[in-house]
Amino acid sequence: MVRLVLVLGDQLTPDIAALAEADRASDVVVMAEVASEAGYVPHHPKKIAFVFAAMRKFAAGLEQDGWRVAYTRLDDPDNAGSIPGEILRRAEEFGAGEVLATEPGEWRLISALEDMPLPVHLFEDRRFIATHAEFEAWAEGRKALRMEYFYREMRRKTGLLMEDGAPSGGKWNYDAENRKPAPDEVTASGPMEFTPDAEVDAVLDLVEARFGDNFGTLRPFWFATDRGQARRHLAHWVKTGLPGFGDFQDAMVRDEPFLWHAVLGLYLNAGLLDPLEVCRAAQDAWEAGEAPLNAVEGFIRQIIGWREYVRGIYFLEGPDYTRRNALGHDRPLPAMFWGAETGMECIRQTVAQTEAHAYAHHIQRLMVTGNFGLLAGIDPHALHEWYLAVYADAYEWVEAPNVIGMSQFADAGVIASKPYVSSGNYIAKMSDYCGDCRYKVRDKTGPDACPFNLLYWHFLDRHRDRFEGNPRLGNIYRTWDRMDEAKRETVLSEARAFLDRLDEGAAV
């Protein structure tokens, strides 16, 4: 009997579980560009174009390898509009009685597949280092699920940067040498850019016609769209970006969106690159003396530590995770997140480059937009949907733990031991944004006070009951309490006035 083999837009890996279980002589691969996936949040046009172009090229590669592929384009008149709809249509067309699928990275699609009226065999996604069972076993009985300990397990499992059972260089973590402030000169050359070929161009036209009104600039489009290009980008970055990766990992520089960052998340998450191949390329560079250990360890930790850890949390915590709201925040997302005018230069820079490239680096996501969202009490679900829409590397399994957990503390501390909040000082130290801002980062109150300075205390004050006892925040509450009472009242009333302006939809 014919079986259908489902390959989703972020499963573009030749030996993905469902393909590995299938028989190319008799089974039919189903791939579909569908309105439901392209529209469940208003994805950035560059992200949609990347997914569709990479899907088309991957399907062509499968056909060359002898697979029968039933590929549906978005504008096919028979397009059923959803993944379940396409499966049913193709099952009827080919007389198929069952489906082989690799577990999707989102509860929404997992339950849609489980509810299908024909048998769907879901295979665990093997592109990750930790299996679900391994993560569950690690988490079992622990009071706190801290990434650092999980990361050490992953080092031992993969053997990356390990010598005779001990970490290379004698330390597990070289972060103390990383995270320097913004440099005077940016010497990294940025990601490798690829000129669209005719096939990619056709996708761009389609995306422009159908999703041109979504937030985000489609052209120039420069992403890699197949494995060969993604590997060339990786090799380029290992040479030009990796050596400076650790030092300037947290720095932010005006009009420099990429700095030394890898811009690999979108390729890893779609399946064009494998996490171990990427880590081995970094390790090889260290062994060849081409990159320092602090950079290579820091990078490998992001991939086999953070990336695996957040995935483990997503599946451990269950389908309600994106609805968590431990702090009861309910303010709507401000228009400046969609590009509306703002005097806050750090937000303007971060949103403008997000609009242009569907990219912002970690510290911009965490300490600029995320920090603002948390301090201002923005609804975490609205922020979750925003992050899911605007970044080319965003899929729920990786985005939600970062937003709901790490950035918004909406999971009540499953991921973060304290909320990632800061006043304007942190942004001033790590970036050159403040010099060009309508606000003054040194002003703690008054008409020009940096909004982060006001909102920081407002946040701590309104959540005092929850955070006062946190050992990492105790000193900060003591500083606040030592402040003159009149000054504290001025800070809080100016913060409230700022939030009122935000609620009125005024440009801030």
Residues in contact with ligand FAD by the rule CB under 6 A? 261-265, 268-269, 299, 302-303, 306-307, 310, 361-362, 365-366, 370, 387, 391, 393-394, 398-399, 402-403, 406-407
Q: Does 439 bind ligand SF4 (CB under 6 A)?
A: yes
Q: Which SS3 state, helix, strand or coil, does residue 418 take?
A: coil
Tell me if 253 contacts ligand SF4 by CB under 6 A.
no
Do 103 and 21 meet the contact criterion of CB atoms below 8 Å apart?
no
Pairing status of strand 3-6 against strand 28-32: parallel
Q: Which does 410 bind (CB under 5 to 8 A by kind): ligand DLZ, ligand SF4, ligand FAD, none?
A: none
Instruction: Identify the bridge partners of residue 122 per DSSP, sorted by sequence position.
Output: 101
Binding at 402: pick from ligand FAD, ligand DLZ, ligand SF4, none (beta carbon under 5-8 Å per type): ligand FAD
Shortest spacing between CB 452 and ligand SF4, in angstroms: 5
Q: How many CB atoms lie within 10 A of CB 24?
A: 14
Considering only residues 42, 45, 105, 419, which one is a binding residue for ligand DLZ as defined by CB under 6 A? 105
96/428 with CB nearer ligand SF4: 428
Distance CA 248, CA 227 (A): 28
Least distance in Å: CB of 29 to ligand DLZ? 12
Measured between alpha carbons, how far is 153 from 146 in angstroms, rounded to an integer? 12
Phi, psi angle pair for 98, to nearest 5°:
-150, 165
Residue appearing with tokens 């083999």: 5
Which does residue 452 bind out of ligand DLZ, ligand FAD, ligand SF4, none, counting CB within 5 to 8 angstroms by kind?
ligand SF4
Asked if 79 contacts 72 with a C-beta cutoff of 8 angstroms, the reply is yes
Q: Out of 38, 279, 304, 363, name the contact with ligand DLZ by CB under 6 A.
A: 38
Q: Which of 419, 451, 455, 498 binds ligand SF4 (CB under 6 A)?
A: 451
User: What, of ligand DLZ, ligand FAD, ligand SF4, none, does residue 32 touch, CB below 5 to 8 Å by kind?
Assistant: ligand DLZ
270 or 344: whose CB is closer to ligand SF4?
A: 344
Sequence length of the chain is 508
Answer yes or no: are the C-beta atoms of 351 and 40 closer than 8 Å. Answer: no
Q: Which is nearer to ligand SF4, 313 or 346 (CB)?
A: 346
Residue closer to ligand DLZ by CB (options 266, 434) is: 266
Rounded CA-CA distance 221/223 in Å is 6
- Binding residues among 336-355 for ligand SF4 as defined by CB under 6 A: 344-346
- Kindly state the smallest distance separating residue 187's Cβ from ligand DLZ, in Å: 34
Selected binder of ligand DLZ within 99, 109, 145, 154 (CB under 6 A):
109
DSSP state of 271: T
φ, ψ of residue 71 in degrees (nearest 5): -105, 130
Contact 224, 208 (CB under 8 A): no
Q: Which of 104, 243, 305, 312 binds ligand DLZ (CB under 6 A)?
A: 104
Alpha carbon of 145 to those of 81, 396, 415: distances in Å? 39, 20, 7
- Decide whether 9 or 370 has the Cβ nearer to ligand FAD: 370
Cβ neighbour number for residue 76 with a 10 Å cutoff:
12
Beta bridge partners of 162: 167
54, two tokens: 């990479």
| End-to-end Cα, the chain, rounded Å | 62
d(CA 105, CA 314) in angstroms, rounded, equals 9
- By a kind-dependent CB cut-off of 5 to 8 A, residue 43 interacts, out of ligand DLZ, ligand SF4, ligand FAD, none, with ligand DLZ
By C-beta, is 316 or 335 nearer to ligand SF4? 335
Give the shortest CB-50-to-ligand DLZ separation in angstroms.
9
| Residues in contact with ligand DLZ, shown as a per-residue x/- string from 383 to 422 under the rule CB under 6 A | ------------x---------------------------
State both tokens at 112.
């849609």
**Residues at the contact surface with ligand SF4, assessed by CB under 6 A:** 344-346, 424, 427-428, 433-434, 437, 439, 441, 450-452
